[in-house]
Amino acid sequence: MKTLLLARHAKSDWGLPGLSDHDRPLNARGRRDAPAMARRLVDEIALDHLVSSTAVRARSTAAEYAAAFRLAVIEEPLLYAASARSILAMAAALPDDSEVAMLVGHNPGMSDAVSELTGAFVEMPTCAVAECAVDVGSWAELIEGSGRLLRLRTPRDGE
């Protein structure tokens, strides 16, 4: 059994005209929510592998998890604007020595990936983390429908 955490980046800043979507930073709420979610998770989960989209808002969110769990962030350009199938393919390529892995990315891909993996319809708000149990011995066995949604954590849950 493996655990896959599918995380949507924290709230981003739309107030900088001319900035590309990929380069948008976190806004004040995002800068508050990301470390708060990381602190909550570190008390509940033993995360051992972290992969992030290369977009600034996703990397900034992932950096908070990395600091809390004392992990390095592996940046994956293909997570930026990835489809659910691409996200699940990336999860299937995770190293087998990892038992609890997190992918940090974007919607609609993250919400769709949770739905395809678990069969549960989920609309992930910013900074949400879907905890999915995956009934596989090796990440390579991960396929659509092989998971169960254990919990959806959102910043509002901790308020």
Report pLDDT for 159: 54
pTM: 0.96
Confidence class for position 157, pLDDT limits 50, 70, 90: confident
Q: Give pLDDT tens digits for 92-133.
A: 999 999 999 999 999 999 999 999 999 999 999 999 999 999
Q: Among 114, 134, 138, 132, which Cα is nearest to 124's? A: 114
Q: How far is CA 6 from CA 3, 50, 151, in A?
A: 10, 10, 11
- Homologous superfamily (CATH) of 2-10+24-158 is Phosphoglycerate mutase-like (3.40.50.1240)
* CA dist 142 → 12, 28, 51, 90, 119 (Å): 31, 36, 17, 10, 14
For residue 16, the model assigns a pLDDT of 83
Show the CA angle centred on residue 11, arms to residues 68 and 20, nearest 5°.
110
The region that residue 116 occupies, defined by phi over 0 for left and psi between -120 and 50 for alpha, beta otherwise, is alpha
- For residues 101 and 117, is the Cβ–Cβ distance under 8 A? no
14 or 89, higher pLDDT: 89
Distances (CA, A) of 19 to 34, 46, 79: 22, 36, 20
Q: How far from the centroid of its chain's Cα atoms is residue 61's Cα? A: 9
Every domain of the chain and the residues it spans:
2-10+24-158
Supply the pLDDT for residue 76.
98
Q: Quick check: helix, strand or coil at residue 152?
A: strand
